[in-house]
């Protein structure tokens, strides 16, 4: 499982001209799911996400987590995080999970974050979405559950 986490002052997602999700302060998460991801991958990414110290404290040091600042999550499913660009010019998405598996784990990801007390706004799984946000910092972090398990 891969997640691109972007600290945001504000963010929204629109589908067919309708805003389906919006946050004011928190993070935008682009989440990619691969074939062998499980609930353990969800738990790892969520635990890291909500406790990452990427928000500034009173001394302007990145010392506070999403939980500390009461921030929200704008969660966007993004199969293109598993694009393989090694051959040719057209990416292959063979490593992305099939939609049924990906949607199930994506929903589990959102539910697990909500269970921790963090507000979650979302787009619509599989839809064409317009995502707008103000990247704060900018701060952008990549998490990969497989890379973390190696270490």
In the residue annotation, 80 being an active-site residue is answered as yes
Helices (H) and strands (E) in the chain, counts: 4, 8
**How do strand 72-77 and strand 120-122 relate by DSSP bridges?**
parallel
Pair 119, 4: CB distance under 8 Å: no
Given the residues 6, 34, 78, 122, the one annotated as active site: 78
In the residue annotation, 148 being an active-site residue is answered as no
Given the residues 55, 79, 109, 133, the one annotated as active site: 79
The answer for residues whose C-beta is within 8 angstroms of residue 98's C-beta and 6 or more apart is 35
- Work out the angle between the directed axes of helices 39-51 and 99-115 (0-180°, nearest 10): 40
Given the residues 38, 80, 140, 148, the one annotated as active site: 80
| Active-site amino acid positions | 78-80
């Amino acid at each position: 499982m891969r997640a691109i986490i972007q600290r945001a002052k504000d963010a929204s997602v629109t589908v067919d001209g309708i805003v389906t999700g919006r946050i004011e302060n928190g993070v935008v998460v682009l989440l990619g799911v691969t074939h062998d991801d499980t609930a353990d991958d969800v738990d790892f990414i969520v635990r890291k996400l909500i406790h990452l110290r990427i928000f500034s404290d009173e001394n302007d040091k990145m010392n506070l987590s999403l939980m500390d600042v009461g921030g929200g999550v704008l969660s966007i499913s993004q199969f293109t995080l598993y694009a393989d660009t090694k051959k040719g010019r057209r990416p292959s998405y063979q490593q992305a999970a099939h939609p049924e598996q990906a949607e199930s784990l994506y929903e589990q990801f959102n539910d697990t974050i909500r269970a921790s007390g963090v507000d979650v706004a979302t787009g619509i799984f599989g839809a064409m979405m317009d995502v707008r946000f103000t990247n704060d910092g900018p701060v952008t972090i990549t998490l990969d559950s497989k890379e973390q398990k190696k270490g």
